Structure 1
Amino acid sequence: MLNRHPLDAVIIGAGVVGAACAYYAARAGLSVAVVDRGPVAGGTTGAGEGNLLVSDKEAGPELDLALLSARLWRELADVLPPETEYEPKGGLVVAPDETTLKALRTFAEGQRAAGVEAAEVSADGLYDLEPHLARGLAGGFHYPQDAQVQPAQAAARLLAAAAAAPAGATVHLGEEVTAILRDASGAVRGVRTARRELLAPAVVNAAGTWGGTVAGLAGVTLPVLPRRGFVLVTEPLPRVVRHKVYAADYIADVASGSAALQSSAVVEGTPAGPVLIGATRERVGFDRSLSTEALRRLAGQAAALFPVLADVRVLRTYHGFRPYLPDHLPAIGPDPRVPGLLHACGHEGAGIGLAPGTGLLIAAALAGTAPALDPEPFRPDRFGDGDGQGDFHDPVDPADPAGPAGPAAPKEAAP
């Protein structure tokens, strides 16, 4: 016999975005359930490095959401346990030549107007911040608001805090959502798993890379596609890299819509010692095969940026899939095509950083209160019935085609 649980909302996805939605909804006094076919942080979050970045975002809606989220992460760092590993270490973007430095200067001017702290660093000043950088760089920009968390721990601790709230949150792991229930008028009334029905007037799609699949359960199209990325993990080292350091071309890669392999050096140390090296991007569906070309590019670019890494051993590599939407903005908020359906997915590689702001916007929509910023740019129905590019199809993960959550990945690095 199916168990029935009347709730204010059901959240599909136990990654960091779903956890943040649960946390802020519970804090607003709403009773919610979180359901995932896998474990906590079993998909993109579990393959995440934990970047909380404003440095890579141009002025606009995503940067506004990133700044809101950066403030919320600082607040969360005071209430979540130390296992979350919040580290406000700052970011450093470097330019190889004067032309690139000039472009970075223009980029930073727009960011400053939106509230970002960005300080230009001279060529000599780079080595005060990062002594092991390659010589001959033209300069760069320091972003003190960039930070880091341990993503799987952040998701777990947010869910625990949501469960401890007066309204409470329940978590159902290992349960695939097989149907989004709707009434005769088409409005949402809950979800069904193999074990139970969870009844609620609202369902939040926080399924990450599988957000398009979940949207399809409700009869709507959301063109979320997987974008694969690889990371190298070195042997433990002294803290030879102090900040999140990346070459300026990483910013262009993030904004690109190309399906081809792109790579740019992104290097950072960790408290445990290993250096993490990314980042690649390519749209190859859910192809989990190893790309030696991607790994070769990463290793070469990292050694060019930090020559000290040239002879360091790489202990392992792994990869994950970012939830990509064609305009590089997440889908956040109510879907007017299905009353009671909300989306919180499509953040690509920025989901960990944008999670608190997303959760706050979802909580406001559920509670009917004023949002912290204008949600209009994130409207889930902005793509209509397709993505406008003619290439969307519902992605299927060949390793696990059943539904919206991916297999766990090692949790100290990210694509």
Structure 2
Amino acid sequence: MFPVVSREQTTGVSELSTEVIVVGGGVIGLAVSVALAERGVEVTLVSEHRPGEASPAAAGMLAPSVERAPGPAHKFSIAARDRYPAYIEFLAERTGIKVPLNRLGILQVAFSQKGIKGLRKSALPTTRWLDAKELQHFEPALPHALGAMFNAQDGAVDNVVLLEALKKLCAGEKWIERLDGGVRSVKPAAASCTITLDSGTQLTAASVVIAAGAWAAKISGARLAKHVKPARGQLVSYSSTPLRHVAYGPSGYIVPRGSITIAGSTMENVRFDTTTTASGVKKVRAAAEEICPVLASSTTTEAWAGLRPVTPDLLPMIGPDPKHPSLIYACGHSRNGVLMAPLTGDLIADLVTESPLSHDLSQFRPDRF
């Protein structure tokens, strides 16, 4: 379905600039480019920096057991989480950068009997209830909690260092060419696809992958990306790390990262507004300090916002436009872009090289809306 067409093989189409063009330089676009290059596919990665990009703004959670997807998508999310240890080793081997990975598990903390009941009702077979005594052994900074549901193997990755490693790998990869610039439009044809940059430059490839995050819908011709909308998430960081585990409370979460703790997050429909607000920061702080009150005595070091690329069902678009197979979507990952990036890269590379798919992508069909 997705033949990789070389310049020498091309007849009846415009001369190809490259085999595959990837539009978007966030964690998804980078992971897709790396996966394609690993298969020996020539890639041109086109991106431009935009304020509010989700990849560097995220908390880096790997939480498929907590932020649970419906149906087969849950199995996909678990596989995405479990892809990380080998992926981290791969990046370290290729770049010398060891991306911090926390797989101590995630705690869903309860502060009331109603909270305990809710957590027990929604618990997966893989989770375990910790009573107050066990929880205090796990995390002495949570003496006020009544208990917690423990989700083993979930955790977080340092997405900032992950981006650094992926960018370094792309920069040194002979199969990847990077171009700075925005993409105005895409025009798919029978055996190729052409993009037009904001500068007016046109590039043609056998396939184009849309991985432009919250901005995917702004690309003319990417007709199915209209369902991807930006959702602002505000986060704060504290200058201490009282917890070792990622922890969820009734209204937010906290993620230990090195010498700081990241807390989040709001979910706001404000289009492309990337500013933080006093009310948003107050809400995030209140949620974080409910989980771990000792954070209230820490200094808040920073507040920022990112734009999540959200679809109506909060599931990503992964796969081709059925009317134009040369146009492939890898966008709309909503709250799970970091979690799903390595596995999304693998599957896009499978599609392009016509390799057997290891996962059912029917829930992620770009034309499902």
Give the corresponding residue for 2:109.
Answer: 94
Matches within 5 A, 1:383-398: 383=369
Give the corresponding residue for 1:340.
Answer: 326
Q: Secondary structure at the match of 1:230?
A: strand
Shift of 1:196: 4.2
> Quick one: distance in 1 between partners of 2:65 and 2:37?
31
> Quick one: distance in 2 between partners of 1:313 and 1:21?
38
Change (3 A) 1:68 1:102: same
Shift of 1:92: 0.9
Give the corresponding residue for 1:142.
Answer: 150
Give the corresponding residue for 1:158.
Answer: 166
> Quick one: distance in 2 between partners of 1:44 and 1:24?
21
Give the corresponding residue for 1:7.
Answer: 18
Is 1:213 matched up with 2:239? no
* Aligned match for 1:53, one of 41, 45, 63: 63
> Quick one: distance in 1 between partners of 2:188 and 2:74?
35
Letter in 1 for 2:128: A
Is 1:171 matched up with 2:184? no
> Quick one: distance in 2 between partners of 1:343 and 1:74?
26
Give the corresponding residue for 1:202.
Answer: 207
Shift of 1:296: 1.5
Is 1:270 matched up with 2:245? no
Shift of 1:74: 0.9
> Quick one: distance in 2 between partners of 1:157 and 1:288?
25
Q: What residue ranges of structure 2 are gaps of 5+ in the alignment?
A: 1-14
> Quick one: distance in 2 between partners of 1:269 and 1:182?
44
> Quick one: distance in 2 between partners of 1:27 and 1:289?
38
Change (3 A) 1:87 1:221: closer
Shift of 1:88: 2.3
Q: Secondary structure at the match of 2:227?
A: coil
Does structure 1 retain, via aligned residues, the 8 Å contact 2:192–2:204? no
Letter in 1 for 2:291: L
Give the corresponding residue for 2:88.
Answer: 77
Change (3 A) 1:160 1:311: closer
> Quick one: distance in 1 between partners of 2:354 and 2:16?
22
Letter in 2 for 1:224: V
Q: Secondary structure at the match of 2:108?
A: strand
Q: Secondary structure at the match of 1:124?
A: helix
Does structure 1 retain, via aligned residues, the 8 Å contact 2:314–2:335? no
Is 1:376 matched up with 2:355? no
Deviations 1:32-64 (A, max 9, x none): 11110228x972112122222223233533322
Give the corresponding residue for 1:224.
Answer: 228
Does structure 2 retain, via aligned residues, the 8 Å contact 1:133–1:305? yes
Shift of 1:70: 1.5
Shift of 1:375: 0.5
Give the corresponding residue for 2:314.
Answer: 328
Instruction: Provide the aligned length of Structure 1 versus Structure 2.
Output: 349
> Quick one: distance in 1 between partners of 2:24 and 2:84?
20
Does structure 1 retain, via aligned residues, the 8 Å contact 2:188–2:326? no
Deviations 1:273-324 (A, max 9, x none): 1221111111121223432222222222222221212222212211111111
Does structure 1 retain, via aligned residues, the 8 Å contact 2:18–2:44? yes
Q: Secondary structure at the match of 2:265?
A: strand
| TM-score normalised by length of structure 1 | 0.78
> Quick one: distance in 2 between partners of 1:268 and 1:96?
19
Identity of aligned residues (%): 28
Does structure 2 retain, via aligned residues, the 8 Å contact 1:8–1:202? yes
Shift of 1:377: 0.5
Change (3 A) 1:242 1:381: same
Q: What residue ranges of structure 1 are gaps of 5+ in the alignment?
A: 250-263, 384-415
* Aligned match for 1:133, one of 118, 136, 142: 142
Is 1:288 matched up with 2:274? yes
Does structure 1 retain, via aligned residues, the 8 Å contact 2:350–2:356? yes
> Quick one: distance in 2 between partners of 1:278 and 1:206?
24
- Larger deviation: 154-163 or 201-210? 154-163
Deviations 1:69-122 (A, max 9, x none): 12221111112123422232321111223333233223223xx3xxxx422211
Q: Secondary structure at the match of 1:310?
A: helix
Give the corresponding residue for 1:182.
Answer: 188
> Quick one: distance in 2 between partners of 1:42 and 1:160?
22
Q: Secondary structure at the match of 1:281?
A: coil
Does structure 2 retain, via aligned residues, the 8 Å contact 1:232–1:276? yes
Does structure 2 retain, via aligned residues, the 8 Å contact 1:234–1:276? yes
> Quick one: distance in 2 between partners of 1:220 and 1:307?
44
> Quick one: distance in 2 between partners of 1:371 and 1:162?
24
